[in-house]
Structure 1
Amino acid sequence: MNSRFTAYTGFLLICLGLIGCHTLQSVPAQRESAMAALDYPFYDADSEIGFNLTYDTDSLHLRLTTRNRFAMLKILRTGLTVHFDTTGQALPQRTAVQYPINLLAQPTRPEEAVGASDIGAPMGIQPLVDQVPPKAVWMQGGTTLAFQKKDRTSETPGLTVDWPFRVTLYSPDDISLAYHLAIPILAISPRGKAGLHTLAMGVESGAFAKPTSTQPVATPQGTRITPEQYQYGPGMGEPFRFWFVVDLSES
């Protein structure tokens, strides 16, 4: 009886483990092309971020796009980290790129968040992009390296950081945000593509601090609103995060 119970329990645990391994969305990587770069076939409903994944001979490309103001503010003001876990377990910071850098407990500003409600007119996105600190962080194997971006070039809109990857952040129309990360495959795994068949990737923002004042503040339109009115839209105090498994079977 005990042996049967033990066998049944073991079988159940294996099944639960297999179910857990398949909870992440599988995202097929397409070959990099001008057409593939414009297509965002995947979507995270919680953050309202569309994304795609492509590859070329040397690099893996991740592109994100959103018009959700809360998601854009989190990226621009509290940072964005892209995680790479070659074990497929969705464990953060084995290898990661952070840009914009994570700024802990940032308060929102009235001129930013009023655009997410019916109070006043929204502030454009490009001015916020221009305020992003020109710094990035590369994390791998317990080592963290911080560095400055290179000078902006006329060929690339927005801010571009090079080493050992390239990341671009810009607003194509002042109401949406676009992000493009190109990272060398060998930077993720020394085995090259052979080491990416169990790759999981995660996208994670920071979060805003809770309001510390109850005093009304002035908006650029001259109205006065309470911190709760501009500070806390849905989930402003929590980071957004989503993970997916990279499918390179067609490569």
Structure 2
Amino acid sequence: MIRVIVTDIEGTTGSIAFVHEVLFPYARRHLGDFVRQHGDEPPVAEQIQAVRELAEEPGADLERVIAILEGWIDADRKVTPLKALQGMIWERGYRDGDFTGHVYPDAIEGLKRWHQAGIALYVYSSGSVQAQKLLFGHSDAGDLTPLFSGYFDTTTGPKRETASYRRIVEAIGEPAESVLFLSDVVAELDAAAEAGLKTTQLVREPGMTTGDHPVAESFDAVRLDE
């Protein structure tokens, strides 16, 4: 029996295009000014130092740090300090009404339906927990955060490593076989299945690569008895 559903975001609850055509360019445009203006504030300074350590450039000045971050954005690097800083920048964008978080209508209805049925809902995304809360808190349909019991990001571990899903199951406190993981990425689903979780692949676009997992074109088609 499925008692918990853990869902990915990009390509699963919302459009990949929203992230790559709205959120990433917004962060890219505002990153330099944000770091220069707020670099002395402890939360930002902590991430700046983390960039230096991760890049193995302990003496990097602020402009070099910005260049490193911009390079990571261009390369779509899923590294924690970049994700944290992006989340801070997106917070301003959401607050100012520059955009709202894209969530598919079927995902909205599915999440509400499962929540009402007593299934605990969690998010696991490469975006920071802060970014996840912002997206669902400022979604096209309003504040969806009351639907979720918790959030996981890259601080838990890479999404294609089995150990990450074992940590999630341990944190949730439910048997792995009672947890369903939803994603559009086969490698992530493979890692989750290796950890004992149930899996379903969201195949929202024709021609997507599929693996040995149940597939669904929308949340309406996700079965909880497979």
TM-score by length of 2: 0.23
More helix by share: 2
TM-score by length of 1: 0.21
Whichever structure has more strand as a proportion of its residues is 1
Bigger Rg, which one: 1
